[in-house]
Amino acid sequence: MTEPFDAVDIIRAKRDNTESLTDAQIDWLVDAYTRGVVADEQMSAMTMAILLNGMTRAEISRWTHAMIESGERMSFAKLSRPTADKHSTGGVGDKITLPLAPLVAAFDVAVPQLSGRGLGHTGGTLDKLESIPGWRASLTNAEMMAQLESVGAVICAAGAGLAPADRKLYALRDVTGTVEAIPLIASSIMSKKIAEGTGALVLDVKVGSGAFMKTLDSARELARTMVDLGTDAGVRTVALVTDMSVPLGRTAGNALEVRESLEVLAGGGPADVVDLTVALAVEMLAAADRPAAEADVREALADGRAMDKWRAMIAAQGGDVDAPLPVAKETETVVAAESGVLASLDAYAVGVAVHRLGAGRVRKEDSVQAAAGIEIHVKPGEPVAAGQPVFTLHTDTPERFARAHEALKGGWTVEPERAGAAVLGDALASDQSVVLDRIG
C-alpha cells in the first residue's frame, strides 16, 4: 500500500524544529515503526532529534496516544471498588511497591500494579517477589481481575499487548543514547499506565545519583510532563519527587528487600521506607476518592491489616507466605577504617555493587540471584566506630566480591570525630526528607 507520509520529511521537521508535528504525522510514524515500515535507523534519527529539540505538550500527548493505540486497553470499570496505581522511575533499595499495594488495598481501593524487572543498577519489583517460593509474575487478564475483586491488590507482569510500540522503541533508545529524552521517558511510562486503565495514578519520580534524573530541575520537568499526560488522558495523576541520592532503607537486593518489606508490613522497618510508603498511600487514596489521614494509614501497618492483604495477595499468585526466603551461600563485610560519622553514601555505587553481586542483569533475558545483595548497617548522619561493619555483601558466587568492593570504593565517606562532626551528622540526617516536591 502507499504510505501517506515519508519518514524522512517528519525527521527533518523535528530536526529543524521550525514547526510542530501534526497528529496525523505522529500517528503514522509510531504505527509505521511498529509495523516495520519505518526502519530502526530512521527512528533512531527521530529519537535523537527529539532528545535535542524536545516536544511540545501537544506533541508528547499525541505521541503517547499513538503508542497506546498500538495495542490493547484494559478496563477496571466492572470492579466493585475504585483503582489506583503507583509508578516509580527506579532506584536502589526501592522496595516501596511491596508494602504499598497491600496497604492501599486495606482501604478498599484496588491496586493493579503492573511491574517490571530490573535492568542496570536499578532493581525490579518482579525479581524481588520471585524470591518467594512458588510466586508467579504472569497472570491472565481474567486472573488479574478476579484477584483485584477478591483480594484488592495484584503485582504482576504487564501483558505483551499493552503499548507494543513502546517495547520496540525502548529497545532502540537503549542502544542509541536517547534513553534520557524526557518526552520519550514520559510517553514510555504513561502509555503503559494509561493503557492499563487505572482510574488514578501516583508517580514516584526519583532524583539523585541513583536515579535517571540527576537534578531536581530535570526531575520536576519529567514529573510535570507525566502529570500533564495523565491529566490530558482523563487519569487523576499526581507526582512526588523523592530523594534517590542515598539507597532507600537498609537493604538492596531481591530477597533482602522482601525481608525488609515484611518488617514494614509488621509495623517496623526503616523510617525512610515507612515514610515514603505512607506518603504515597495517602496520595493514592485521595486520588481514588478514599481519603485517609496519615495516622490512619500508619495504623493499618501497625495493626496487621496491610500484612493480611499481603499474605492474601502473595498466596493468590501461588506464593508460599510462610516459606523461608533464600539466603546467600557467602557473605563478606566492609568495615570502617576510622571512627566518626558517616557523611555520605552514594546510591549509584551501592546499586552497581548489588548488580555485580548477582542481583541485577545486563540484558533482559539474564537470570538473577534471589539472595544476592547488600545490607547497609550505617546510614548518613549515624555514628560509626573503627572496625564496625558498614555493609554486608551477599552472593552465591564468591568470585563476585572483588568487583563489588571496587564499586563501593569511594562511594561512602566518614567524617572523623572532631568538633562539629556530630552536628554535621545531625544535619545530614535531618535534611534527608524523602519527599522533595509534589506536582499535580
For the domain that residue 119 is a member of, what is the CATH number? 3.40.1030.10
Q: Which of 61, 88, 115, 188 is catalytic?
A: 188
Q: Is 388 contained in some domain?
A: yes
Per residue in 141-159, pLDDT (tens digit) is 999 999 999 999 999 998 8
Check whether residue 245 and residue 179 sit in a common domain. Answer: yes
Torsion of CA 218, 14, 196, 273, to 10 degrees: -10
Check whether residue 309 and residue 355 sit in a common domain. Answer: no
* Mean pLDDT across 358-373: 85
User: What whole-number distance in Å separates Cα of residue 32 and Cα of residue 259?
Assistant: 46
User: Is 173 annotated in the active site?
Assistant: yes
Considering the chain, what percentage of its residues have pLDDT values greater than 90? 87
Residue pair 258/129 in contact by the 8 Å Cβ criterion: yes
pLDDT of residue 428 exceeding 70, the answer is no
Q: Which of 117, 128, 173, 250 is catalytic?
A: 173
For the domain that residue 367 is a member of, what is the CATH number? 3.90.1170.30
Beta strands of 212-267 (E only): which ranges?
A: 236-243, 251-253
Q: Which of 14, 95, 121, 192 is catalytic?
A: 192
User: Is 12 annotated in the active site?
Assistant: no
Q: Of all residues in the chain, what percent are helix, strand and coil, respectively (each to 5)?
A: 45, 15, 40
| Cβ atoms within 10 Å, residue 385 | 12
Q: Is 66 contained in some domain?
A: no
Residue pair 415/421 in contact by the 8 Å Cβ criterion: yes
**121: pLDDT confidence band, cut at 50, 70 and 90?**
confident
User: What whole-number distance in Å separates Cα of residue 180 and Cα of residue 110?
Assistant: 32
Q: Which of 166, 232, 243, 272 is catalytic?
A: 166
User: Is 366 annotated in the active site?
Assistant: no
Closest to 84 (Cα-Cα) out of 152, 141, 160, 186: 152
HSE-CB of 162 using CA atoms within 13 angstroms: 20
Q: Which of 14, 87, 206, 356 is catalytic?
A: 87
- Domain tally for the chain? 3
Domain of 182 in residue numbering reads as: 85-323+435-439
Q: What is the value of pTM for the model shown?
A: 0.93
HSE-CB of 91 using CA atoms within 13 angstroms: 31
* Mean pLDDT across 154-165: 90
Residue pair 237/440 in contact by the 8 Å Cβ criterion: yes
Closest to 74 (Cα-Cα) out of 170, 202, 193: 193
Check whether residue 135 and residue 226 sit in a common domain. Answer: yes
